[in-house]
Every structure is written in structure tokens, then in C-alpha cells.
């Protein structure tokens, strides 16, 4: 059993328990459930840098990244830096995140927020909307085409945008459908955790132009972003590169300035 298999097995148990504790109606009564969501796709298309920053305390591959920072400070810092949006890890067991992190980030910022988790059930989409998310992540490697269609259609009915993440051509080809907004190519092999930017360069031409294209993982310098832009990418998810510093917002601001100065 791979680490991904373990995560999904645990996620099924977690979701089942949460559904018993907090039924759909509980989350639908949230003060932010009816708010109009922000479009990450629109922000990315209008941006010169295309940076999506991330709040991530730890991961299975890197263990502790930074657990000492306040979500409020990180979120405000990123927004002040001019990033297009913020990805918030909400998985607790493997990434040290929570839905409360998403809630807090929403309370102090206005830019698009992505709930980054291992989504396998519509219930998690209701949770995302109730905690202020604008975008949700679906991971093609853990979902069938039918599940992707069902979840993405339901997400869009809630006003949420959908980022679909792929790692190879097979995942990409099974996932292309109109109920998606953004395609993300993850350069990290989920089995070995090795990172290769050629994954993005190889797959980008297979993604229809209808979708915003982003590259994820292993992006740590402006040269990589400028190169990937020439292949048609409009967005770039950067997490550990900012989070491993004492001031992620300042790091993001300096990174964006470097990209814009070199563009």
C-alpha cells in the first residue's frame, strides 16, 4: 500500500465520521455559505506572475515545513504580496492542516482560496463552501472519470471553481470535461515523490485551450516560471518555497517582483 492509498483509506473514514457529526444542513447554515465566490481562473488570466501561494505546515515527503507561523499572518502576507490566490491544506493527519485554517484565511482576506485536500465525496464540497473556499481540488489519480464528473458538476452548482490535478497523460485524457475550470499538472510523482518539470512541458499541449493551465510542485525560481510560461502555463502553485521561510508573504512579494522584472 502506497502513502496515497493510506491517505485515501483514512480520508474515507474521516469523511464518514464527519458526516455523522455535522450533517449537510449544519454546514449549509454557515454565514459564508451564500457568499459570491471569487474566480481564481480570472485572476490567473489577468496576472503577470500567475502565482498561487500555499499554506502548508508539513507533508509526508518533507515532514515539518513550518508549523510556527500564524495562518492570519501568512494569508495577509500573501494577499499583500499580490499573489493570485492561496491554497490551504486542510488535511490534518498528513499535512497538519484543518478547515479552521481555511475559515481564518477567509475572515482576513478577499482573494481566491483553494481548499486543497483529498476530495472523494460531495460532503467535502459542502464543507469547502461553508468555510469560504472559492476553488476545490480534485486529484485524477484517486478518482474515476465518473467520480470526477459527479464531483466537479456538484462543485460548480455551488459556485465553486474546479482545479483538476493530473500527473500523466492517462489521467489527463480521462479527465477532460466541461465541468472543470483549471487543469493543474503536478510535477511530483506521488509514488516516488520525485519532481520533474518535464512532466508539465510534456502534458501541456494535451490540455485544451478552454482551460486555465497551471504547473504544480518543484517550482522554486523565476527561471522555471518564465520557461513554463512559454509552454502556455498561466499559473504556478508555489508552496514550500515560501512556507519554509520566516515570512512567506515577503518571500512571495520578492519572488513576484523578480518574475515581473525578468518578464
For 152-195, write each residue's pLDDT tens digit: 999 999 999 999 999 999 999 999 999 999 999 999 887 777 89
Pick from 113, 130, 112, 139: which is nearest to 5 by CA? 139
Hey, which residues are catalytic here? 54, 56, 116, 165, 186, 216-217
Q: In angstroms, what is the C-alpha Rg of the chain?
A: 17
Rounded Cα distance between 27 and 107, Å, is 16
Which pLDDT tens digit goes with each residue over 194-247? 899 999 999 999 999 999 999 999 998 999 999 999 999 999 999 889 999 999
Q: Domain tally for the chain?
A: 1
Residues contacting 15, CB < 8 A, separation 6+: 120, 121, 123, 124
Rounded Cα distance between 223 and 108, Å, is 32
Query: Is-contact 111 103, C-beta < 8 A?
Result: no
The residue range of the domain holding 152 is 3-32+39-262
CATH of the domain at 127: 3.20.20.70
The share of the chain scoring above pLDDT 90, in percent, equals 88
pLDDT at 130: 98
Bridge partners, residue 139, by sequence: 165
pLDDT at 2: 85
Rounded to two decimals, the pTM is: 0.96
pLDDT at 193: 75
pLDDT at 59: 84
Q: On the CB side of 156, how many CA atoms lie within 13 Å of its CA?
A: 14
Tell me the average pLDDT across 81-85: 98
Which pLDDT tens digit goes with each residue over 103-125? 999 999 999 999 999 999 999 99
10 Å Cβ neighbour count for 31? Answer: 8
Query: Is-contact 212 248, C-beta < 8 A?
Result: no
Confidence grade of residue 263 (pLDDT, cut at 50, 70, 90): confident
pLDDT at 36: 96
Query: Is-contact 184 216, C-beta < 8 A?
Result: yes
Rounded Cα distance between 196 and 205, Å, is 17
Tell me the average pLDDT across 126-155: 98
pLDDT at 135: 98
Tell me the average pLDDT across 65-79: 92
10 Å Cβ neighbour count for 156? Answer: 17
Q: What are phi and psi of 149, to 5 degrees?
A: -65, -45
Identify the burial level of 157 via C-beta atoms within 10 angstroms of its C-beta, where 0-12 means exposed, 13-18 middle and 19 or more buried.
exposed
Q: On the CB side of 219, how many CA atoms lie within 13 Å of its CA?
A: 34
Weakest mean pLDDT among 37-46, 61-70, 86-95, 140-149: 61-70
The share of the chain scoring above pLDDT 70, in percent, equals 99
Amino acid at each position: 500500500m502506497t502513502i496515497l492509498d493510506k491517505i485515501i483509506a483514512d480520508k474515507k473514514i474521516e469523511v464518514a465520521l464527519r458526516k455523522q457529526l455535522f450533517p449537510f444542513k449544519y454546514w449549509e447554515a454557515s454565514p459564508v455559505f451564500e457568499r459570491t465566490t471569487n474566480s481564481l481562473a480570472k485572476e490567473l488570466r489577468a496576472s503577470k506572475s500567475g502565482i498561487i501561494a500555499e499554506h502548508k505546515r508539513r507533508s509526508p515527503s518533507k515532514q515539518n515545513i513550518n508549523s510556527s507561523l500564524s495562518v492570519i499572518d501568512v494569508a495577509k502576507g500573501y494577499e499583500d504580496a499580490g499573489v493570485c490566490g492561496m491554497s490551504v491544506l486542510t488535511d490534518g493527519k498528513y499535512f497538519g492542516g484543518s478547515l479552521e485554517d481555511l475559515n481564518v484565511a477567509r475572515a482576513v482576506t478577499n482573494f481566491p482560496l483553494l481548499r486543497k485536500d483529498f476530495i472523494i465525496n460531495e460532503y467535502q464540497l459542502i464543507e469547502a463552501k461553508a468555510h469560504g473556499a472559492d476553488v476545490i481540488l480534485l486529484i485524477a489519480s484517486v478518482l474515476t472519470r465518473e467520480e470526477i464528473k459527479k464531483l466537479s458538476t456538484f462543485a460548480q452548482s455551488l459556485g465553486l471553481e474546479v482545479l483538476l490535478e493530473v500527473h500523466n497523460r492517462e489521467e489527463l485524457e480521462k479527465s477532460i470535461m466541461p465541468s472543470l475550470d483549471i487543469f493543474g499538472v503536478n510535477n511530483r510523482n506521488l509514488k516516488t515523490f520525485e519532481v520533474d518539470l518535464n512532466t508539465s512541458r510534456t502534458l501541456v499541449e494535451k490540455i485544451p485551450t478552454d482551460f486555465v493551465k497551471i504547473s504544480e510542485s518543484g517550482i522554486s525560481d523565476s527561471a522555471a516560471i518564465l520557461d513554463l510560461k512559454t509552454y502556455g502555463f498561466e499559473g504556478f502553485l508555489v508552496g514550500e518555497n515560501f512556507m519554509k521561510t520566516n515570512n512567506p508573504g515577503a518571500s512571495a512579494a520578492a519572488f513576484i517582483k523578480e518574475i515581473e522584472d525578468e518578464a
